[in-house]
Amino acid sequence: MKFDARTDRVLIRAAGDSRRYVMVSFTAPVAPPKAGRYPINVAFVLDRSGSMSPERKIELVQEAADKAIGMLREDDRFSVVIYDDKIDVLMESTCASGEAKRAVRQQLERITARGSTNLSGGWLTGCEQAALHINSDVPAKCLLLTDGLANQGIVSTDDLTRHASELRQRGVLTSTFGVGRDFDERLLQNMAEAGGGHSYFIEKAVQIPDFLTSELGETLEIVARDVALQFSLPAGVDAEPLNRFRHGRVGDTLRLELGNLVSGQEMRVVTALRFPAGGIGDVLSAGVRLTDRDGAFDTAPIAMNWTFADHKDNDVQVRDRVVDAAVAELYAAKARDEAVEYNRRGEFSRAKAVMTRTAERIIGYAGNDPVLNQLAANMVQEAGEYEEHMDAMALKERSYESHHMLRNRDPQGKSRRSS
């Protein structure tokens, strides 16, 4: 397996305050035969509130859940929870036998849309079902699907996000699926990020089966668990990931938690380093290594060096345009994420300004690079669009586009795979 780390520039200013970027890229191993995969423990939590009635949403949820459960083996576990303002456990956590699949299919066929949305009650009940059979060797995940706002039970985004983080620490991950125009995307994105899962925007109800089964399919193809990047940093160097992954620093070690990876998944992670002052010709070195719970990645640590130089040499040094492009894409995603929030609040001039400033920053180092110049031009054009009111669907689309880019996933939110 190829594990690569490269920096945008190798010289840093002796006067201090240089910012350099490190791009780490690698591909997860290809999955073994299905007979050798990890068993899983999954809870399906399905919204049946009254808003699920139009567009055959509830029927499509029934179809999606039945199809997903059909993908499970007998050594997998599953449970099914449905909710509106009341919570019903259709199937307590059980092994995915043929009998259990047939029984839950009959239950699913009787679901009707009704009531309001106790999202927290449904989700926490699903997590409780998964937690009944917590096993360090069996990934446990709650798949939460909703088309509405949390208006019963716990409704605070901060509180629900905190619960998701605590459940992750206990071994229960959360992935979320928002359907249509009325759900709170910030809530579902934050829950999934804190919960170690993924978040998806389902624009049209007919897409429900594809997204639900795709996420379950990824869970069935996990080849590396609790994957992390660890940077060993020299004294005085600050570090901040550009991607949106949970991270923390203890002493000279920065750890980025990438979660579970699936067969053939391609990862590209960018981290910004800020350097102190130093003597011309002196060298600072950092290292990065890849770790996971089971030793699926057999890679040696990579060492990187930067040399202190004067302003002139710094200004004329060669840039790595591949790293530049990766950095620019992530800053563009961050700018778009901010612009969405400004537009949502009616602060249209600020929405435009954040896009324009980021485009100008990219132009400042783009030179004659066609990729960077095109990215900047696209941002300038898009900036004008944020100056006008956007409807809920447009805001959701752009919010998720940024979210997926920052999480290193494809535009639909699925893992990037090697061809």
Q: Tens of pLDDT along the chain (419 residues)?
A: 689 999 999 999 999 999 999 999 999 988 765 556 778 999 999 999 888 888 888 898 999 999 999 999 999 999 999 999 899 999 999 999 999 999 999 999 888 888 788 899 999 999 999 999 988 778 899 999 998 787 888 889 999 999 999 999 999 999 999 998 888 999 999 999 999 999 999 998 899 999 999 999 998 888 888 999 999 999 999 999 999 999 999 999 999 999 999 999 999 999 999 999 999 999 999 999 999 988 888 789 999 999 999 999 999 999 999 999 999 999 999 999 999 999 999 999 999 999 999 999 999 999 999 999 999 999 999 999 999 999 999 999 999 999 999 999 999 999 998 76
Please indicate, yes or no, if residue 359 is contained in any of the structural domains: yes
* Shared domain check, 181 and 63: yes
* Shared domain check, 155 and 24: no
* Shared domain check, 119 and 237: no
| CB neighbour list of residue 378: distance below 8 Å, 6 or more residues apart | none
* Shared domain check, 134 and 260: no
Contact 296, 226 (CB under 8 A): no
The DSSP 8-state label assigned to residue 28 in this structure reads: P
Straight-line distance from the first to the last Cα atom of the chain, in angstroms, rounded to the nearest whole number? 15
Contact 174, 128 (CB under 8 A): no
* Shared domain check, 138 and 163: yes
| Domain at 243, CATH number | 2.60.40.740
* Shared domain check, 104 and 61: yes
Please indicate, yes or no, if residue 419 is contained in any of the structural domains: no
Ranges assigned E (strand) in 181-237 = 196-202, 222-232
What pLDDT was estimated at residue 35? Answer: 55
* Shared domain check, 140 and 64: yes
What pLDDT was estimated at residue 32? Answer: 65
Please indicate, yes or no, if residue 418 is contained in any of the structural domains: no
Please indicate, yes or no, if residue 411 is contained in any of the structural domains: no
Domain termination residue (choose one: 169, 185, 220): 220
Please indicate, yes or no, if residue 412 is contained in any of the structural domains: no
Number of domains in the chain: 3
* Shared domain check, 206 and 94: yes
What pLDDT was estimated at residue 37? Answer: 75
Please indicate, yes or no, if residue 183 is contained in any of the structural domains: yes
What pLDDT was estimated at residue 36? Answer: 65
* Shared domain check, 201 and 60: yes
Please indicate, yes or no, if residue 417 is contained in any of the structural domains: no
Q: What is this structure's pTM?
A: 0.91
What pLDDT was estimated at residue 419? Answer: 66
* Shared domain check, 371 and 340: yes
Contact 272, 250 (CB under 8 A): no
Please indicate, yes or no, if residue 413 is contained in any of the structural domains: no
What pLDDT was estimated at residue 34? Answer: 58
* Angstrom distance (rounded) from CA 348 to CA 159: 30
* Angstrom distance (rounded) from CA 89 to CA 174: 18
Domain termination residue (choose one: 173, 198, 220): 220
What pLDDT was estimated at residue 360? Answer: 97
* Shared domain check, 236 and 210: no
| Domain at 57, CATH number | 3.40.50.410
Domain termination residue (choose one: 259, 277, 312): 312
The domain of 362 spans 321-406
* Shared domain check, 44 and 193: yes
